[in-house]
């Protein structure tokens, strides 16, 4: 596959979720987002509202990073974020519920947040794929679709089990079959890694080191499955 720098940038949620981030850090993120031409910025809900240049969406997180918040609290957090200008909300599921096969509970949790994120706003569901079995990944994706989510997303980037993998992205893309978007995030630090995720089925990327990824694009090489993998 071949992507220009501008095309790759439009896959990117340019992300700053470090707990020590300051308003000045967020302002710098937004300025860099405008320069890089990314799709959106993703910031912590406490940093909202923010003002972004035309064409740059605002994303935030919900129930982050553990997912161990009551569904009512997640929904309230999402609703406030929408009121404060968020275009997209990335929520974290209860990971244990997915690993135990309690997908009705996962679906109910997601549906509560979906009820707080109105039509026209995007809901992404973080399943923390590195902490799940393959079966749980697929089940969580199906629960997200049944609950009305717009995207499934690999990772928070904070879990010790790790971040995105090509294997997980492929599983997720197959599970949603193009009906939902797939966001790969967590540990994607090179252009090669970014292109591999897209090749596996990612339609959005969560990156904190966006400039370095884009700067590395000229030297990046990726292959399609038909050419023998990555």
Q: Is 174 a catalytic residue?
A: no
**Under DSSP, is residue 201 helix (H, G, I), strand (E, B) or coil?**
coil
Question: Catalytic residue among 90, 109, 150, 199, which?
Answer: 90
Question: Catalytic residue among 74, 94, 150, 153, which?
Answer: 153
Q: Is 74 a catalytic residue?
A: no
Instruction: Output phi, psi for 83, to 5 deg.
Output: -60, -30
Distance CA 205, CA 194 (A): 7
**Under DSSP, is residue 41 helix (H, G, I), strand (E, B) or coil?**
strand
Contact in structure between 200 and 169 (CB atoms under 8 Å): yes
Tokens, residue 86: 């968020």
Distance CA 152, CA 128 (A): 10
Distance CA 81, CA 85 (A): 6
Q: Is 18 a catalytic residue?
A: no
Question: Catalytic residue among 94, 124, 150, 183, which?
Answer: 183
The alpha carbon dihedral of 138, 157, 207, 62 has a sign of positive
**How many residues belong to the chain?**
230
Contact in structure between 70 and 54 (CB atoms under 8 Å): no
Residue 187's closest CA among 165, 171, 204, 168? 165
Residues acting as catalytic residues = 90, 153, 183
């Amino acid at each position: 596959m071949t992507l220009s720098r501008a095309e790759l940038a439009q896959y990117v949620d340019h992300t700053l979720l470090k707990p020590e981030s300051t308003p000045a850090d967020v302002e710098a993120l937004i300025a860099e987002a405008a320069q890089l031409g990314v799709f959106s910025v993703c910031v912590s809900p406490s940093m909202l509202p923010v003002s972004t240049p035309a064409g740059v969406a605002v994303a935030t997180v919900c129930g982050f990073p553990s997912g161990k918040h009551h569904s009512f609290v997640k929904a309230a957090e999402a609703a406030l974020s929408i009121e404060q200008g968020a275009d997209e909300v990335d929520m974290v599921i209860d990971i244990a519920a997915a690993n135990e096969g309690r997908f009705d509970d996962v679906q109910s949790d997601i549906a509560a947040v979906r009820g707080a994120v109105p039509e026209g706003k995007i809901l992404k569901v973080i399943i923390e794929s590195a902490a799940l079995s393959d079966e749980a990944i697929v089940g969580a994706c199906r629960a997200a679709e049944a609950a009305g989510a717009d995207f499934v997303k690999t990772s928070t980037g904070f879990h010790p089990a790790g971040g995105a993998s090509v294997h997980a992205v492929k599983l997720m893309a197959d599970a949603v079959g193009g009906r939902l978007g797939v966001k790969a995030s967590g540990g994607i630090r090179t252009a090669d890694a970014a292109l591999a995720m897209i090749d596996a089925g990612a339609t959005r990327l969560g990156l904190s080191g966006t400039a370095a990824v884009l700067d590395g694009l000229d030297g990046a090489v990726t292959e399609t499955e038909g050419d023998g993998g990555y």
